Structure 1
Amino acid sequence: MSGVGRLVPQAAMAMAVLATVGGGWLGWGHWRAQPVHDELYVTQRGQRMSVDLPDGSRLQLDAATRMEALLYRDRREVRLVDGQVMFNVHSDAERPFDVLAGHTRVTVVGTRFSVRHAQTGVDAGKTVVQVESGRVRVAQMGSMSAAVELGPGMAVTADEQGRLERTVSVAPNSVGAWRAGRVSFSDTPLSQALAEFERYGETRLMVRDPAVAAMRVGGSFDLREVGTFAQALPLMLPVKLKKLDAATEIVPVR
Structure 2
Amino acid sequence: MDSTGTLAMEQAVDWHLRLADGGADVWRSFALWLEADPAHADAYDRLTIEEEALASPMIELPVAPPVVRPVWRGKAWKMSGWATGMAAAAAIGMAVLPTAQTARPYVVETAPGVQRTVTLADGTKVMLNGATRVVLDHADPRIATLESGEAVFDVHHDAEHPFEVVSGGVRLRDIGTVFNVRRAGPALDVAVAEGAVMFQPDHEAVLLKRGATLSMRDDDDSIMLDKIDAEGIGGWRDNRLEFHAVPLRRVAEDLRRTAGIDLAVAPKLADTAFTGSLRTDRPDDEVVATLTALAGARATRSGRGWTIAPRSAGVPQS
TM-score for the superposition, normalised by structure 1: 0.72
Aligned CA distance change for structure 1 residues 65 and 162 (closer, same or farther; 3 Å):
farther
- Structure 1 pair 192–111 and aligned structure 2 pair: CA distance change class (3 A): closer
Corresponding residue for 2:270? 213
Are the structure 2 counterparts of residues 213 and 172 from structure 1 closer, same or farther at C-alpha, using a change threshold of 3 Å?
closer
Equivalent of residue 100 in structure 1, options 159, 166, 174 = 166
Deviation at 1:138, TM superposition (A): 0.3
Hey, which of these two has a bigger chunk of helix by percent? 2
Verify: 1:159 aligned to 2:217, yes or no: yes
Verify: 1:150 aligned to 2:208, yes or no.
Answer: yes
Residue 228 of structure 1 and its aligned partner are, at CA, apart by: 2.9
CA–CA distance in structure 2, aligned partners of residues 113 and 204 of structure 1: 27
Q: Deviations over 1:33-86 (max 9, x none)?
A: 24465321111111111111112211111111101113657x821111011111
Deviation at 1:244, TM superposition (A): 6.2
Q: Distance in 2 between matches of 1:71 and 1:82?
A: 20
1:58 matches 2:58: no
Identity percentage of aligned residues: 26
Counterparts of residues 11-160 of structure 1 (less than 5 Å): 33=99, 34-35=101-102, 38-70=105-137, 76-119=142-185, 125-139=186-200, 144=203, 146-160=204-218
Q: Is the 8 A contact 1:95 1:109 kept in 2?
A: no
Gaps of 5+ in 2: 1-94, 314-318
Counterpart of 2:248 in structure 1: which amino acid? Answer: L
59-68 or 237-246: bigger deviation: 237-246
Per the TM alignment, residue 204 of structure 1 is displaced from its structure 2 partner at its CA by 5.1
**Paired residue total:** 215
Q: Is the Cα contact below 8 Å between 1:40 and 1:68 reproduced in 2? A: yes
- DSSP 3-state at the match of 2:250: helix
RMSD across aligned C-alpha pairs, in angstroms?
3.0
